[in-house]
Amino acid sequence: MAEEQKGFFRGLMGKLVGGDAQPQETVIPPASEPEVRPGFFERLKKGLSRTQENLIGRIDTLLLGKKQIDADTLEELEEILLTADIGVATSVELIRALEQRLKRNELQDGEALKRALREDILARLEKYAAPLDINTSTPFVIVVIGVNGVGKTTTIGKLANRYAMSGKRVLLAAADTFRAAAAEQLEIWGERAGVDVIRHQEGADPSAVVFDACKAALARQCDLLIIDTAGRLHTKVNLMEEMKKIRRVVGREIPGAPHETLLVLDAATGQNAISQAKLFKEAAEVSGVALTKLDGSAKGGIVVAVSNEFQLPVRYIGVGEGVDDLRDFDPQQFVAALFQ
């Protein structure tokens, strides 16, 4: 009986582990369809949806049922533009232009007003639009500036990945030696993009890092050198002195550099972004802007304000966390997504 029990249990265990089991036909689940990610324009529209609701949605409400466009309508429109973070100077400009159209009897109805506003916004964005061309010099040097928290290091990482993927030899310089773990964060992005990072110890002289990075970029025949800088809001005098020192070192080692001083702004901060743009333009010879975090923000009008008020080209916009969500700014695409 004991042997029978042993045999029974042995057989049972064999079945459980597959020893006595008959070969089973392997069932291969059907291949799942690859996830199709929406195109950038669709992501841009989605990212600007809150801005569109805050701006275009309120304009539609204003114009609802209006049979005639008059001065009162334009006054109410000006308030909408101001609260949509298009900025005081730009809002006034847009309203003045619309007043001229009204005098010429060009604004017969709400649709004509919206069409005119769209044209005027696009004209201001296109006036200063210019994509960044890094092929004009080798190595091309970008100094990236901006306060902490705007997405500066992430922007650098995405740019490094973008240009490395296109076959460019890219080098990063961790010249933000004041913020704890800034260099480590940049190194993580460098690893992801497959590019090297020149760094010193925390607290080191930023200009020393920049000097070594310039030497390395020349020795390695790099196409692009991207320099991260401290994001503290120092006093204006300290900021100017630090930027001058970095620019002096870069210009001495690589004649003509830096070729771009890129200011990174967080679009979600609205009027704070305008204040930062004013400070940095005065202190650091800004030549272009990258606007991050447009997705989910109701303050996308800041794109128009920064470009128009400071006469700066918006080089890049970010509409998501993905590595490919930082794109060249296209005024026509932006305005189309905003007004659709």
pLDDT digits (tens, 9 = 90+) for 257-267: 999 999 999 99
The residue-averaged pLDDT of 209-225 equals 98
Distance from C-alpha of 328 to C-alpha of 340, rounded to nearest angstrom: 20
Distance from C-alpha of 236 to C-alpha of 215, rounded to nearest angstrom: 29
DSSP 57: I
With a cut of 70, say whether residue 321 has pLDDT above it.
Answer: yes
User: Considering only CA atoms, which of 191, 181, 258 is closest in space to residue 225?
Assistant: 258
Helices 40-47 and 331-339 pack at an angle, to 10 degrees, of 50
Window from 13-22, 275-284, 319-328 with minimum mean pLDDT: 13-22
Per the model's pLDDT, the better-predicted residue between 116 and 300 turns out to be 116
Instruction: Dig out the tokens for 171 from the structure.
Output: 């080098």
pLDDT band at 15; cut points 50, 70, 90: very low
The pairing of beta strand 170-174 with beta strand 224-228: parallel
SS3 state at 182: helix
Q: From residue 331, give the alpha-carbon distance in Å to each of 14, 29, 124.
A: 70, 46, 9
Distance from C-alpha of 303 to C-alpha of 33, rounded to nearest angstrom: 37
With a cut of 80, say whether residue 97 has pLDDT above it.
Answer: yes
With a cut of 50, say whether residue 28 has pLDDT above it.
Answer: no
User: Considering only CA atoms, which of 218, 278, 282, 217 is closest in space to residue 244?
Assistant: 282
